């Protein structure tokens, strides 16, 4: 029962957050709604039994990306980029032409058909067989990272260290040659 409530509330949070993210005009509100959507995705990962991926979703996206976006908006004063004309009216630019709308509608129809097919298969399978019991994956992933995949783990840490040093070098102020 709890799993169904968690799934439905997470799915609603994801969908409502995503729709509100693209529909509001204030960029701070969009960042907050993106936070809601990403929290919903973490809840969906929990309902799938992927607890490690859910925690990574919370730490990396909710904890890092959204906070970074909020600080970026606050530091840049969040200019909307829309200017009023001499009559005080704000013109909203069009987002595309007939071709781009047609491509968007075709892709939206394909995504909708894929989702419908996926849900019909999921609900048909849920009537046939029981879902296996939940088993945590964090210990298995930890043992795999320190055991069989230790070389890939160390290479990725060196790569991230190099990216951090490169970002520090690129972002430092330049000195004038005199």
Residue 81 maps to which CATH number?
1.20.120.1200
pLDDT at position 119 is 73
CB 14 within 8 A of CB 44: yes
Angle made by CA atoms 90, 93, 97, in degrees to the nearest 5 = 155
Per-residue pLDDT reduced to its tens digit, 48-95: 888 888 888 888 887 777 777 777 777 765 555 556 666 666 655 556
Q: Give the range of the structural domain holding residue 27, as residue numbers without chain letter.
A: 1-93
Number of structural domains in the chain: 1
How far apart CA 80 and CA 89 sit, in angstroms, is: 14
Plot region of 10 (φ>0 → left; ψ -120 to 50 → alpha; else → beta): alpha
Neighbours of 44 (CB within 10 A): 19
* Structural domain contains residue 160: no
* Structural domain contains residue 147: no
Per-residue pLDDT reduced to its tens digit, 155-164: 888 888 888 8
* Structural domain contains residue 106: no
pLDDT at position 14 is 93
How far apart CA 156 and CA 162 sit, in angstroms, is: 10
Q: What is the band of 35 on the pLDDT scale with cuts at 50, 70, 90?
A: confident
């Amino acid at each position: 029962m709890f799993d169904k409530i968690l799934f439905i509330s997470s799915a609603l949070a994801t969908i409502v957050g995503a729709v509100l993210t693209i529909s509001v005009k204030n960029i701070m509100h969009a960042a907050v709604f993106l936070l809601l959507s990403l929290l919903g995705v973490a809840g969906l990962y929990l309902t799938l039994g992927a607890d490690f991926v859910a925690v990574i979703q919370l730490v990396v996206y909710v904890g890092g990306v959204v906070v970074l976006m909020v600080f970026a908006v606050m530091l840049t004063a969040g200019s909307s980029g829309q200017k009023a004309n001499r009559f005080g009216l704000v013109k909203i630019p069009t987002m595309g032409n007939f071709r781009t709308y047609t491509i968007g509608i075709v892709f939206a129809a394909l995504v909708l058909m894929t989702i419908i097919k996926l849900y019909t298969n999921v609900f048909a399978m849920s009537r046939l067989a029981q879902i296996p019991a939940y088993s945590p994956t964090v210990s298995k992933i930890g043992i795999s990272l320190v055991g069989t995949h230790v070389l890939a783990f160390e290479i990725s840490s060196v790569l991230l260290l190099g990216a951090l040093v490169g970002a520090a070098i690129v972002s430092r102020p330049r000195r004038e040659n005199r």
